[in-house]
Amino acid sequence: MKTNTILATLLVAVALFTFGCKQQAATQLAAQQGEWVEITDTLHMPDIPGLSGDTYQTWKYFTGLAVRDTSEFQALATMFDTTDAWNRKYYHEYPIVLPEPPNFSKYSMVGVCTETGPVYYSRKFYINDTLQKYRLLVHLESSSLNKNRVQSQNWLLVPRLKQGYTVAFDTTTSYLQQLQEIQQ
């Protein structure tokens, strides 16, 4: 009887110690990874005509762009694939015309080029100061059974990106939805 009591006490002590160590490790890991905080001071911007959706553009689907200054903004107008003669001719006849740039002393632009069936777009922007990282999450929810493809650049105007911070583009749900639509 005493042996069972001692054994049970020992097992409880080991379990509490193990759980305490795991809890402490999880807390330390969370502290190292920091906290993702949503930035709600964002503004959805319209697509830039000619920048996506055509065979001559170089912005690949499900990849993101961060535009931090005027020179990066102006570079958007050169995102043509001019490796063949037809694309070069088309580019010279119909160049990308950029809208007025935002005030890059206060703002930056982030976007993810997507192509899916008709959807509702949810765009959220987060910051993690511990990791010195931003994350643009684009979540797509199908709004119809229509199989026609819809393209979106998913631009957000955000507060000026901090120097040295990177931007991650999370389109996992977008990409998975595209695969599901293709398979149906």
In this prediction, residue 97 carries a pLDDT of 81
| 113 closest CA partner among 55, 169, 59 | 59
Question: Which pLDDT belongs to residue 61?
Answer: 79
- Quick: pLDDT tens for 150-175: 778 899 999 999 999 999 998 766 55
The percent of residues above 70 in pLDDT, for the chain, comes to 64
Q: Count, in order, helices (H) and strands (E) of the chain.
A: 4, 10
In whole angstroms, what separates CA 51 from the centre of its chain? Answer: 18
pLDDT classification of 142: cutoffs 50, 70, 90: low
Q: Which residues make Cβ contacts (< 8 Å) with residue 138, sequence separation at least 6?
A: 112, 114, 121, 122, 123, 154, 169, 170, 171, 173, 174
Q: Which ranges constitute the DSSP H helices of 34-161? A: 70-75, 85-93
The residues that bridge with 122 in the sheet, in sequence order, are: 139
Which pLDDT band, with edges at 50, 70 and 90, does 21 fall under?
Answer: very low
| Cα distance between residue 59 and residue 48, in whole Å | 12
CB 142 within 8 A of CB 119: yes
Domain residue limits, the chain:
1-33, 37-183
User: For the segment 23-70, what is each residue's pLDDT rounded down to a tens digit?
Assistant: 444 444 445 679 999 999 999 999 888 776 555 567 777 889 999 999
Report the predicted TM-score, pTM, of the whole model to 2 decimal places: 0.71
Q: Which helix (H) or strand (E) holds 136?
A: strand 133-142
42 contacts 125 by C-beta, under 8 angstroms: yes
Q: Give the 3-state secondary structure of residue 56.
A: coil
Residue 122, pLDDT score: 83
- Name the token pair of 155: 């631009």
